[in-house]
Amino acid sequence: MIVKGHVLLRGDIGSEECVALVDTGASMTVIDRGMAERLGATCVRRKRSLVSATGHRLEGEVAILRELMIEGETLDYEKVLVVELGDEVKTALRKLDLCDSLILGVTTAELANSIPDTSTGRLRKVEAFLFQEVKPASAYNPMLFMARPDDLPFPRLAYPLCISLVSLTSL
């Protein structure tokens, strides 16, 4: 089931409110160039490319929106990727009664204290997230760089450096 979220976007010259697709595999929110221009998103002159689940490469430019509100939770000065969304993508989004110029990345939704609930097709509010840094074992003992992973006295999950995300409401 797809997940939808209510979104309000504000740029330097305009704002738009819509219901957007939440891409549970996307690390970044994507907006169409036309929407970015209508809003007055501030481009930061940094290029970025993403690869879709179908293997298509999406080239874009990083921009900043003054405000991005997701399900009532405001994110100030949020990064988005400005791209040229194709007609095929826009048509598919419109058929789902969704905004055809915005795809909300799950990481952005998480920053707004929301997680996708595929059983309801909506974003679910959570109280807060706790970010816990897990350091590689070599940060504690530089000699471990010389050991083979199978010889180490702790699980393989201890490296490489990663960040785990835990919802406080599920504790």
Q: Which residue has the higher pLDDT, 89 or 146?
A: 89
> How far is 25 from 133, CA to CA, in rounded Å?
22
Which pLDDT score is estimated for 54? 64
pLDDT tens per residue, range 130-160: 555 554 544 444 444 444 444 444 444 433 3
Residue range 25-50: mean pLDDT, rounded: 92
Q: Cβ–Cβ contacts within 10 Å for residue 167, how many?
A: 15
- Say if residues 32 and 58 touch (Cβ distance below 8 Å): no
Phi, psi of 153 (to 5 degrees): -85, 20
State the average pLDDT over residues 77-105.
Answer: 93
* Dihedral pair phi/psi, residue 4, rounded to 5°: -115, 150
Report the pLDDT value the prediction gives residue 170, as an integer from 0 to 100: 40
Burial tier of 108 (Cβ tally within 10 Å: 0-12, 13-18, 19+): buried
The helix (H) or strand (E) run that includes residue 104 is strand 102-105
Architecture of the CATH domain 3-125: Beta Barrel (2.40)
> For 128, how many CA atoms within 13 A lie in the half-sphere containing its CB?
4
Average pLDDT, the chain: 80
Does residue 56 have a pLDDT over 80? no
**Is residue 99 very low, low, confident or very high in pLDDT (cuts 50, 70, 90)?**
very high
- Predicted confidence at residue 49, as pLDDT, reads 84
Domain-by-domain residue ranges, the chain?
A: 3-125, 129-170
Bigger pLDDT: 112 vs 166: 112
The model's confidence at residue 120, banded by pLDDT at 50, 70 and 90, is very high
